[in-house]
Every structure is written in structure tokens, then in C-alpha cells.
Structure 1
Amino acid sequence: MACGSATMKKLRQCAGCGLLLALLVSFARPCHSLYHPTPPVVAYHHGAVLDGAVPVSVLYYGTFSPHQKAIVADFLLSLSPRGSRQNRFGVPGPAPPPSVAQWWETVDRYVRKAGREPPRVLLASQVSDEACSLGKYLSRAQVEHLAARLGVAPGGVAVVLTAADVAVEGFCSSACGAHGASAPGAAGHVWVGNAAVQCPGRCAWPFHTAEGFAYGPGQRRGRDETLRAPNGDFSVDGMVINLAELLAGAVTNPYGHGYFQGDPSAPVEVAAACPGVYGRGAYPGYPGAVRLDTATGAGYNVVGRNGRKYLVPALVDPDNYSCIIMA
């Protein structure tokens, strides 16, 4: 499956003035990879990370149902719940599922290792642009313009979610989403596209059959290793996977000099280093052994606000660089 890598861009000097106007950093979230390399050492490059209160504002561009918006909002509200950081969202029983907050604690550890206060994600606002004021084909620059409309202060993140009938430059062909910042110290932005009709096999796996899957020795052709979506909407449940990965990157590598491995113009960040891994025993084309909802059979690995279930990607352990699997 041809998946694009991340890019870093610099605004060129303005003509006739010779001054560098701004630095634009943009890291893409490639389409889901079915290749599971050994996780690399995710090194700290002594740059800024987001810490303390991290306000997040969301713009829904195009049509999203109230149910779809609730899936996203409950996920964001589950990252840093008030009070105890222990799991308060699991179902009753001796071994409740891990919480979304417990998954996010790995991001906290990265920020602590940088000598900063752990990030507390706050859902600051949610707005909608159902009329698609900039049209239904957006350049990356227009996405960044939409993010700027949210007016998020430095240290926060503006999230732009585009609907299924909105095409974005590079969507599907090179990325499922991206994060970046217009300048060092500015508010970050995250964009994630809805892949329901454009590329579900690339950007909504494992809730949709993967595109271009190559069957290896011993695997039955036609075997379906996909999972049922835990919230009954494979496209938005897939968006949450991409949003989770990009938010982790936006906090730990907001301006290109934080935590990553490899070329800074195509960094491997804390979630991208464990592609396609959601449960134990994952291999190409198989997301791993995850929990199954007893009522619906849907796959998930963490539980959030209101008991809502989610599937989140494995993150690289900041100490031993293994993939941390929520089980």
C-alpha cells in the first residue's frame, strides 16, 4: 500500500524584502501501514513540547451528525479527566478495561522527560461550518486558514475535521491527516479527514478491509481481519484513531524539534512508530487481539467518558522503545 510520508515546509522569503516571514511545520499522518517494523528509538531533540493546560477547539467542516460529534467530543474529554488519573470510566468488575486517560499517560511521560508539566487537554469549543464556506476541495493552506479561525491561543491545538464529501489536498494519496504550526510558539493545528467514501481501506482500517493488502504465506486469501467499529460508525471511529495519533504528535513534537526519530522533514513520531498495532500479536493485516464488546462484537482497547469505547494506536514507550499495547 503506497502511503506517503510527512513533510516539513518553510515559507519562502517575501519578494523584494529578503525577510523570512514565517516557519510552517506540517507533519502528515500517513494512511495505515500494514508493515510492522521494529519500533525505533524516539529521541528528544531539545525543542518545545506542549505542557500544562492544552486547550483544544474543534471545527467540523461539512456535515457531521450529533452522534458523530459526540464520539469525538467524548474522546477529547476522556484524555485528561478531572480528579484522579485512575480509570473511572471502565465497566464494573475486577479487571476494567484501560481508560483513554491511561493511554494518554504515555504522552505525559514524554513531556515529563522534557522537564515540563504534563499536558492537560481541555475541550475549549466546538463549532460547525456545515455550509463549507471555502468549498468542498481544500488546499492544505485553506485547512490551516480554517484552523486559524478558531482563535486558539499559543499552547493549544485547533482541530479541523473534514466531512466525507470534502476533498483535501493529499488526502488518501499521501495522508489521512496532519498536524503542524504556522510558526514556532504559535498554536498548533490538526486536520483529519473522513474516509468513508474516499479511501476507507487506507484511512479507516481496521474498521474497513485494508486496500492493497498482500497476503503472506499461510494466510487465507479473502480472510477478513477487520473489526466492527465500537461506536457504530466506522468512518468516525477511524477518524478517532488518526486524531489520537496526531494529537500525540502535536503535543510531543509541535514545532519539529521535539520527540521523533529519523529525518526531521519526515519524522517518525511517538504513535507512527507502531503502525497498525492495536493489540497483542498484531501482524501485517491483523490489528492484534483486542477486547470485543459482548453486545455488539465491536473491537476496542480503551474506554472513555460515558462508558464509550474506542480503539487507539499503540505508542512507543519512552524508556524501552517497545510498543505499549492497551490490554
Structure 2
Amino acid sequence: MKPPVLPAALPGWQDAVLGVELDAAIEWRLRLDDSMDTEHAMSVRLEFEHWLQASPAHFDAWSRLDSGLDRTMGPLRSALAGPDGGLRNSLLHPERMRRRFMRRALALGAAGSGLVWLAHRQVPLPNLLADLGTGTAQRQRHTLPDGSDILLDARSRIDLAFDGRQRLVHLLAGAIQVRTGTDAARPFLVATAQGQVQALGTEFMVRQETGASQVLVQRDRVRVRAQFGGQVDLQAGQGVRFRADGIDAIRTDMQGDSAWQDGLLEVNDRALPEVIDALRAYYPGVLRVSPAVAEIRVSGVFPLDDPMRALRALAHTTPIEVRRYTPWVTLVHHKEELS
């Protein structure tokens, strides 16, 4: 079987994109960003893929949009970081104003020229509206207003709501590790799309997954509450995954899930696509996986900060072949597909 090849550049890529298709591409960018880290993310993504493949004009419009985003997002980031915060507040409220502004920014980006990779792969677009966020291959530590220490994994973002009653961290995407400061009068809470984690004087990790959240306690205790009922207290060394409607059984074998704090990916009998998915937050481009590798299981420790090295290690220990077509596009195939 011949190896898969990348689609050739479509005719007219440098020409002006029809306004109606460009408007559709902008709407899809907004829909994808709005649905990120919600339970509808997968269905929205599937709808988008269907739209993208339906017509060469759709692919053309999406490519033009992507290529110009970096020109627009740089000045936008500077404006959002300004001392008065007025622009950021106008984007946050109301929703119609925010979407109108983002649509204009995206349209300006689409009008740009040059082959510049999608800025969203470097710094996720929703990060512009978050209190704290990280880009691709970036971990970052911060001290919160109460003295707590927080570490954000790559492509993570949070909002903070600290007041006289509570210390609340909204985990919007990715993962965080927290060492809470002492404040007996105000509970420290981490809210995810599926529920809430309350620190009981502790050190712990929380990850927002698609349709679920993950918690691992590294010191002392936490209390996990699912959105629609049910709660459980976890001790040091214990972890759990929970959804909005329930909490899975407590586990004591999740310590490897916190290895990202040291720049490592530690897995034990995990499906290869899950391992590749964990590397995507550290790879500044497209990392695609053939469905033929879905049944391959992987165990080992891999470097997050060098995803290509991790992929080469996987190629040495599993029946896969890694092909890098450009600095931004890497495809993972089963060797049998290429024979």
C-alpha cells in the first residue's frame, strides 16, 4: 500500500476568498473555541470536519483564516494586557459584543497573507480572555493573591474569583497543580465543568478532560463534589475521575499522571492514541494518528518537552512509523499500512 500523502495546495489559495465562505470559517472558529472543554466539543468537532471536507472552497477559506491569525493576535494580546483592562472587560460582557469583536479580529487575520501557522496552536485563542494561561509546550508557575502556588500545564487556562468568602479557581482547560496557602476563613476551591474540588490544606492536581475531570492528591486531603450529586474525600496518594453525574472508584495507581510537572509523560498500559493526544499540548503543529494504531498499548516514560524524541521512542518499541512532512505536520501510521 502506498503511504498517505498530504493534500496538495488547492487552486486559488492566494486568491481572494468568497465572503460567504470566509464568514462561515469565522463562525466555525468561534464555535470550536466556545465548545472547547465542554461535553459538546467532540460533536462540534465532527460537524466542523464534515463542513471542511464538503467543499474545496471551505478548505480554502479555513486556510486563509489560519494563515493571517498571527498578524492579528499579536497586537490583540498587547491590548488585552493593557493597564486599564477596558478591552478585556468589553470582550467578556456581553456575549454578543465579545463575539462581534472576535469576528472582526478573525476577519482581519483572514485578510493577511503569508504561510504562518495558526496562532491558536501556539497560544490558544480563548487564553486571551482568561486570567492565566499557557501556550503550547509551556508550563508556568504563579503565586496567587492568597500566597498559594499554582503550576499550569501546557495549553491550560484558569480564571480566578477570590473574595471575602472563598478562593475560587475556574479550571477552563488543561491541568494545574496547587499548593494551597493558609486561610482558615476562606475555602480554596477548584471548579471544573463536571464539579468542584475543595482543598483541605493540601497539595493536589486537577485536570480538565473531555467530559470528565481528574484529581490526584499529593499531600493531605481534598473533597470532590460532582455537579449533580455525590462527593468523596481523597487522601494523599489517591486519585479519581468524575463526571457531572457521578464519581468513579478511588484509585491509588494514578501517581504517574502528575509526571507532567517534571516535563515527563508516564503511562502504564495506555492506548497509543491517548499517549499521542497527551503529546499534542507540546507539539506546535498537526499531529495526526491513523485509526489503525488504536489497539496498540504503551507503557513507559517519555519527554514532554521533546515530543519528536518521544515519538521516535514509540517507533522503536511499537509497530508504528512516524513521518514528518513539514516542521508543522507529523503523521503516525501502523507499519502494516505502509507495506
Q: Which has the higher helix share?
A: 2
Q: Which has the higher strand share?
A: 2
TM-score under structure 1 normalisation? Answer: 0.30
| Structure with the greater alpha carbon radius of gyration | 2
Higher RCO (Cα < 8 Å, 6 or more apart): 1
